[in-house]
Amino acid sequence: FLLSLKLESKTKGRFQKQICQVVLDHFEKQYTTELGDTWTSVRDVLTHPLCWQYAVLLNKFSQSSELENTLRVKGYHPAFRGPLPYFPSSLKCYIRRTPGRFPAQKHQAGKLKEYYLLNAASLLPVLALEVKDGEDVLDLCAAPGGKSVAILQCAYPGNFHCNEYDDLRSRWLKQTIESFIPDPLINLITVSKLDGRQIGDLQPELYDKVLVDAPCSNDRSWLFSSDIQQAMLRLIQRKELPSLQFQLLRSAIKALRPGGSLVYSTCTLSKAENSDVIDLILNSCSNVMPIDISEMAKGVSQEFAFLSGTQKHELLVLPEKGRAWGPMYVAKLKKI
């Protein structure tokens, strides 16, 4: 009984995070302007972690039919059931309407994990990228590694380059890859710690597909900044993020072969870091064009709520109750 009480208080403690008022006030001002009335319902989800949902991405390299049965018993069902332009049968992700998190698996050296817990919207950039076997792929800002793992559930790239500039996050990325990918395949993956802004000059026209899951103001985690000083600093640095994102995108375009495509994604609602950055790229780079992803959006509209009025080459997932995924911005471009 005492043990169950301890576990209960631990669980409560994890969910009773303190909202950082400074960040909330900042978001309130910005997103009321950008999202209008929609912001009220989005804010209700973002500020109540108890209503957050988590998806379970199965690892095809460590398959277990028992796990799928357990998930079904617990009320999970396969995600992405609508017709999609690209959906490899090897990609298996389970979701459920009710909130809560499936227990995580600990990292054990030499043992592959059976599943990866993530926000289901994180798979949309991977589906938009449409990686096929044998293609050369660059994941420019790869940590913590969930999207890299998801790409490898979809296809076997010829050359797969996972890059992460930050030292701590790079170690996290390596551990994720070790936890999910078997040895023979790991040897085909290059993990680097290069400055993403320079990769295009270092490796021009080397890749068929590039994913730029850019550093951004992560709305979910920023709302719960435990340290006021850190929160203030983040809000100051927030103004510099669009410039960094633009430079990363420009580098990604240089790294792409003509005819290759790139997907840009963030986990923020901020227009300055999303459509404004893409508009700037389209206006300043004559060798890229937008790619329509509205069919994909239509195919997943059962699972996700989207901001209306966006362009055909972009989408923005809005968290709502019962579909508490996102925020996730996705845009697709092609190099001419």
Whether a cis peptide bond, with omega within 30° of 0, leads into 144 is yes
State the residue for tokens 């990325």: 173
- Residues 103-127 have a mean pLDDT of 94
User: Does position 305 have pLDDT exceeding 70, yes or no?
Assistant: yes
Query: 81: which residues sit within 8 A by CB, 6+ positions away?
Result: 302
Tens of pLDDT, residues 190-199:
999 999 999 9
Tens of pLDDT, residues 215-270:
999 999 999 988 899 999 999 999 999 999 999 999 999 999 999 999 999 999 99
Distance CA 256, CA 179 (A): 29
State the residue for tokens 């999910």: 180
Residue pair 133/146 in contact (Cβ under 8 Å)? The answer is no
Residue pair 140/212 in contact (Cβ under 8 Å)? The answer is yes
Q: Indicate the annotated binding residues for S-adenosyl-L-methionine.
A: 141-147, 164, 195, 213
Q: Indicate the annotated binding residues.
A: 141-147, 164, 195, 213
- Residues 103-117 have a mean pLDDT of 92
Distance CA 60, CA 77 (A): 17
Query: 49: which residues sit within 8 A by CB, 6+ positions away?
Result: 15, 17, 224
Determine what percent of the chain falls in helix, strand and coil, rounding each to the nearest 5.
Answer: 45, 20, 35
CATH 3.40.50.150 fits 21-50+120-335, yes or no: yes
Give domain limits for the chain: 21-50+120-335
pTM: predicted TM-score of the whole model, two decimal places: 0.94
Q: Is 58 exposed, middle or buried (0-12, 13-18, 19+ CB in 10 A)?
A: buried
Residue pair 314/124 in contact (Cβ under 8 Å)? The answer is no
Task: With cut-offs at 50, 70 and 90, classify the pLDDT of residue 16.
Answer: low
Q: Which residues are catalytic?
A: 267
Q: Which pair of tokens denotes residue 184? A: 């023979």
Q: Average pLDDT over the chain, rounded to whole? A: 94
- Residues 163-181 have a mean pLDDT of 96
Q: Report the half-sphere exposure of 3 (CA within 13 A, side-chain side).
A: 0
Tens of pLDDT, residues 21-39:
999 999 999 999 999 999 9
Q: Report the half-sphere exposure of 216 (CA within 13 A, side-chain side).
A: 24
Tens of pLDDT, residues 200-220:
999 999 999 999 999 999 999
